[in-house]
Amino acid sequence: MSKPATTLRLILGDQLNASHSWFKRIDETYVYLIAELPQETSYVRHHVQKLVAFFAAMANFAMALDNAGHKVDYLTLDKSCDYADLSELIRAKLTEHSATSFEYIQPDEYRLSKQLGDLELGDGISKNCVDGEHFYLRHDEIGDYFEANKAKQMEAFYRKMRKRFNVLMLDGKPEGDRWNFDQENRNKLNAEDLSKIPSPMTFTTPTSEIVARLDRHQVDYFGEIDKQLLWPTSRQEALQLLEHFCQHCLPAFGKFQDAMTGESRHAWSLYHSRLSFALNAKLITPMRVVDRAIEEYRERSDDINLAQIEGFVRQIIGWREFMRGMYWANMPDYSTLNVLDHSNPLPGYFWTGETKMRCMQHSITQSLDYAYAHHIQRLMVTGTFSLLAGIDPDAVDAWYLGIYIDAIEWVEMPNTRGMSQYADGGLIASKPYIASGSYINKMSDYCGKCHYQVKARTGEKSCPFNSLYWQFLIRHRDKLGKNSRLGLAYRNLDKMDDATVDALTQQAEVYLRDIESL
């Protein structure tokens, strides 16, 4: 009797989805290939915690598949380094396993999708791509909601998603008769609030073996890492973190989701779920997260009001799905957009945190320490500063993609190049997300102990955000002057006398010239 034909199935490092239909039954004719890839360590310079987290999660997933009875071919860098790239590895493994077909899950990054789509396997070997079965929208449904080079409002998309998937809906209407509670998601933490911030749940994945392997293969990384990784690297740990969020953080999540502080040992975690790495590696599904959070809200409606759960749901079923859709609708051209023609280099303190701007110092140092910062730190501190300072969006992209543990291009690039840097000219954000120091002062306690004076617009110790904010508006008036959402800002600018405008411009130019010393 002839031996059944073998199929090689590839699982990438961000496709660790135990719920995928591939794994519904045990069949020894399927060989699952999971590999640490040199190409994935070098396409951008990564934070060491990001590399360790993905490699640890991949090892845990390979072990889980093997324990369940699946046939797994798992390679660390020690073995995968023998192959030039993923394509050569796949062809070699097809030969090794005498496979007659190759299957892969639709990658979430354009570069990998193109690499596998262009992969030539030779005569007699079939190739098939299947959906990832992770997101609310299937990959082939993205075109039904998004169109290339066409601006789209997240709010409209979010409402469609709520309706289609019946999330927080009642008789066809949004619960509470409101779609969005964003205005109630902007509270600042006071002294009493700081004392109530829950301790974050962390984990104890050993790191030394993976770090030694990275060093052995001369992987160029940055950042620090302890002997144990704090992030979840298995489905079980992701579920534990979800439970911790629902029980301890969800009751105040919405209220403080935009808040920032430098005055708490839990400043890095606050009330955020920190599930983004687990979600983006596919250790846990967004449906499981949303359903469990809503279940907790239903059971504890006295403790968790609608604004808290809606704010959380919006991040996942709205923003996360929206970013993915805009990414795929506009790639590959999206990766080169730079409508404001920004070209300044990234200041050196983005790699050290050594700056006198306390908001930047805290946000960058936290990012270096934990490979994590929450969305307002990313958007309104490091992101806003980069935009005001005219940093090249390519450099900003590479920094965000490398430093954050949850950063995968499909979600990082539209958030950075679009939402944060307005390099796409408004496809994602209807206006540039710019702000002076007053916004940071409103949402944080950073300014009180800063070297600079948040209310001063000019002078040696004036907050750099202030003069850079006005200079940005002046510099880009030809492109932004007719933007209705910036109308008030430009009207305020026009009320200033010439001497004030000149002083602001000169102060901004001094700061840009001496940007490395800020």
Q: Are strands 228-229 and 205-206 parallel, antiparallel or unpaired?
A: antiparallel
State the pLDDT confidence band at 2, using cuts at 50, 70 and 90.
Answer: low
We find that the CATH architecture of domain 6-130 is 3-Layer(aba) Sandwich (3.40)
CATH 1.10.579.10 boundaries in the chain: 348-517
d(CA 428, CA 417): 9
CATH superfamily for 348-517 is: DNA Cyclobutane Dipyrimidine Photolyase, subunit A, domain 3 (1.10.579.10)
Tokens coding 317: 């079923």
Query: What's the mean per-residue pLDDT of the chain?
Result: 96
pLDDT single digits (tens) 430-455: 999 999 999 999 999 999 999 999 99
CATH 3.40.50.620 boundaries in the chain: 6-130
pLDDT single digits (tens) 418-433: 999 999 999 999 999 9
Tokens coding 327: 């990414």
Q: Would you identify the CATH topology of the domain 139-330? A: 1.25.40
Longest dimension (CA), the chain: 92
Q: Are strands 71-75 and 30-35 parallel, antiparallel or unpaired?
A: parallel
CATH 1.25.40.80 boundaries in the chain: 139-330
d(CA 113, CA 28): 27
State the pLDDT confidence band at 1, using cuts at 50, 70 and 90.
Answer: very low
Q: What is the pLDDT of residue 383?
A: 97
Q: Residues 30, 33, 38, CA angle at the centre, nearest 5°?
A: 170
Q: Are strands 169-170 and 173-174 parallel, antiparallel or unpaired?
A: antiparallel
Q: Flag whether pLDDT at 3 surpasses 80.
A: no
